[in-house]
Amino acid sequence: MDGIDRKLLNLMQRDASRTNIDMADEVGLSPSSCLRRMQRLRKSGVIDRIVAILNPSKAGRGIKALVTVELKLHGEQHMRRFLDIACTEEAVAQAYAVTGETDVVLMLRLRDMEEFDALCDRLFRDQTNVARFFTMIVIRTAKEETAIRL
């Protein structure tokens, strides 16, 4: 990956709806050269996917919560089972197996507290192997970035 690739990727991360011609002009390439580079970056997996980033409040999911989860039983199969269950939940936007005192961190995007209550019943009951969980409701977002600095 060279400097032009990095410039193209930075442009894409800011606004992926820009036209190929517009991006080519900004980085000093012909449109065909720019298109070939973008296709190569997609094929190589550097560009994983292109998505629309929604405004959570306007999309009806204005409550954000971070949940740390400690499992009763440890090991790959127990971790995988819990993560598989968690990932089926609509409100789970991100799910991570982590190191340290907790086993899993979930980032939730919720409609309301009733949805959270129902999710707790499904995800954190005895048969899901959860010893305890701690919830933090986000009151203010200081930074939320999807771009990766290149």
28/55 Cα distance (integer angstroms): 33
Q: Are 119 and 108 in contact (CB under 8 A)?
A: yes
Q: What pLDDT score was predicted for residue 121? A: 94
Average pLDDT over the chain, rounded to whole? 95
What does the pLDDT read at residue 16?
94
The Cα 4–Cα 17 span in angstroms is: 19
Q: Which DSSP letter does residue 114 get? A: H
What is the CA 48 to chain-centroid distance, rounded? 12
**3-state SS class at 105:** strand
pLDDT at 126 over 80: no
Q: What is the pLDDT of residue 28?
A: 96
Residue 127 banded pLDDT, cuts 50, 70, 90: confident
Q: How many residues does the chain have?
A: 150
Q: What percent of the chain has pLDDT over 70?
A: 99
Average pLDDT over residues 2-25: 96
Residue 142 has pLDDT above 90, yes or no: yes
- C-alpha span between 131 and 47 (Å, rounded): 38
The whole-angstrom separation of Cα 97 and Cα 114 is: 26
Q: How many H-runs (helices) and E-runs (strands) does the chain carry?
A: 5, 4
Q: Per residue in 62-97, pLDDT tens? A: 999 999 999 999 999 999 999 999 999 999 999 999
What is the reported pLDDT for 128?
82
